[in-house]
Amino acid sequence: MKVEILSEKENKLLGRKEIAFQIDHIGARSPSRADIRSKIVAQFNADASSVAIST
């Protein structure tokens, strides 16, 4: 599974970073939200409890 960052924005009003990304999973099953969360946490060195995944 490869994560491609499409945009990254600092939301100072809410005190968070907002990231738009695309997942490349050709030849594999669709990744679960937990798999995506763990990949984002590792890539951005973030706290897992503070990462929210939306569509």
pLDDT at 43: 92
The whole-angstrom separation of Cα 44 and Cα 40 is 6
The whole-angstrom separation of Cα 2 and Cα 25 is 7
The whole-angstrom separation of Cα 1 and Cα 18 is 21
Token reading at 38: 């763990």
Name the 3-class secondary structure at 29.
coil
The whole-angstrom separation of Cα 29 and Cα 40 is 18
pLDDT at 7: 96
Per-residue pLDDT in tens (0 to 9) along the chain, 55 residues = 899 999 999 999 999 999 999 999 999 999 999 999 999 999 999 999 899 998 7
All domains of the chain in start order, with CATH: 2-46 (3.30.70.330)
State pTM to two decimals: 0.77
Residue with tokens 């995944």: 53
